[in-house]
Amino acid sequence: MNYFSSKKFIFLIGLVLISLLAIFFFRLGFTGYSVYENPIDFEELPDSFEIIKGQNFILDLDIYGDYVFSDDSSLFDISKEGLINFVPESVGEFDVVIIALKTVDDFKFKLVKFRVVE
């Protein structure tokens, strides 16, 4: 019997293709991820997030316009484009002020609580 024509082989190839599509379209890896709907409008940003220690957390903030993002936290660094991508190392609650700045007169900020659990 030819191994490449067996049902097990075809099933295995199907699983591999589905996994590759998931990685490509959802940017998931083989470790645990907390991925929130991307992109999220700044005004709709939740007041708090519960995330798991040791799992990658990804959040993409999207404001229409030329805003530059920053934060006041040592927990993570937000990119100028509004991407938060980090792996929390310690358990606890962290209050983070996220700032979106366009000009001196045009800025937004929000206090967000990040709760890291085991």
Per-residue pLDDT of 41-59, as tens digits, reads: 667 788 999 999 999 999 8
Confidence of residue 21 (pLDDT cuts 50, 70, 90): low
CA atoms within 13 A on the CB side of 38: 16
Contact 95, 71 (CB under 8 A): no
Per-residue pLDDT of 93-105, as tens digits, reads: 999 999 888 887 8
Q: How far apart are CA 97 and CA 67, in angstroms?
A: 15
- Cross-strand bridge partners of residue 86: 57
Tell me the two tokens of residue 62: 């999207």
Q: How far apart are CA 1 and CA 22, in angstroms?
A: 32
More confident residue, 4 or 114: 114
pLDDT computed for residue 101 by the predictor: 87
pLDDT computed for residue 91 by the predictor: 95
Per-residue pLDDT of 56-98, as tens digits, reads: 999 888 665 678 899 998 899 899 888 899 999 999 999 999 9
Q: Is the pLDDT of residue 33 over 70?
A: no
Q: What is the DSSP string of the chain?
A: --GGGSHHHHHHHHHHHHHHHHHHHH---SS-EEE--SSEEGGG--SEEEEETTSEEEEEEE-SSS-EEEE--SS--B-TTSEEEE---S-EEEEEEEEEESSSSSEEEEEEEEEEE-
Confidence of residue 37 (pLDDT cuts 50, 70, 90): very low
